[in-house]
Amino acid sequence: MADILQKILATKREEIELAVQSVSCTAIVEAAGKALPVRDFVGAIRSKIAAGKAGVIAEVKRASPSKGVIRADFQPAEIAASYERGGAACLSVLTDRQYFQGCPEFLQAARAACALPVLRKDFIIDEYQVYEARAMGADCILLIVAAFLPPEGVTGAAAAEAAQRRLLELETLAHQLGLAVLVEVHDAAELDIALHLRTPLLGINNRNLRTFEVSLDTTLGQLGRIGAERIVVTESGIRGPEDVALMRSHAVNAFLVGEAFMRAADPGAELARLFA
């Protein structure tokens, strides 16, 4: 997966160069300024948790590099409406074309079909993409700490400081545009970097980037280092009510779930069942 991540990031850099040729930096900034009003992503999650419910970020995803096509009958608007009926707090929509078979139009269709705030799920590494996210109607962006590190991960103070500096720059821009930020980590070293960001949304991905193994202990093992001001969002590996119960028994009340819903005939009904 580490190799796949580097391949994806190389593709992203190429995509950004091509995008700038098609829509200039000036034009994308102007488009971002004309976007629809932002929906409160963090507030939607906090509201669910305050009501004693799970704050579920439900993913709209057609495919992945490791699993191929997950949902052949892929209708983003219908899926989004189903999620809203099922009790989701927010949506996550894949916009990466080459590796996840997503696109900005999927995000726009999903957002238009419901009142839920929407995360642009992509590999964001440049300011252009932040403006682009706002222009397409996103309410939140994902920043993956591993995307700002050398292929081998955190190799020393210099690498960590460079990643932290770059993440803060992108987070600052996102917040200036009214966007929320979900910062994602995979291990303790990445968490050290993420804790310097201001966003309350801290995603812990339970999938090991190098082995593909999934363990919920990845989230549980980091909780002691995270203050109460953060909202821990556990990602990957939530497949049954017992997984939800385990997390909630440790005061983890926010979840990003995709594949378990995408493989169900009615994604929203599966959400309601899983988080009943």
The first and second tokens of residue 116, run together, are 């839920």
Catalytic (active-site) positions:
59, 61, 121, 184, 205, 235-236
Number of other CB atoms surrounding residue 229 within 10 Å: 7
The first and second tokens of residue 52, run together, are 């004693």
CB neighbour class for 207 (10 Å; exposed up to 12, middle 13-18, buried from 19): middle
Q: Residues 85, 39, 105, 258: is their CA dihedral positive or negative?
A: negative
State the Cα–Cα distance between residues 114 and 87, nearest whole angstrom.
12
* Cα separation values, 195 from 121, 175, 179, 202, Å: 21, 16, 19, 8
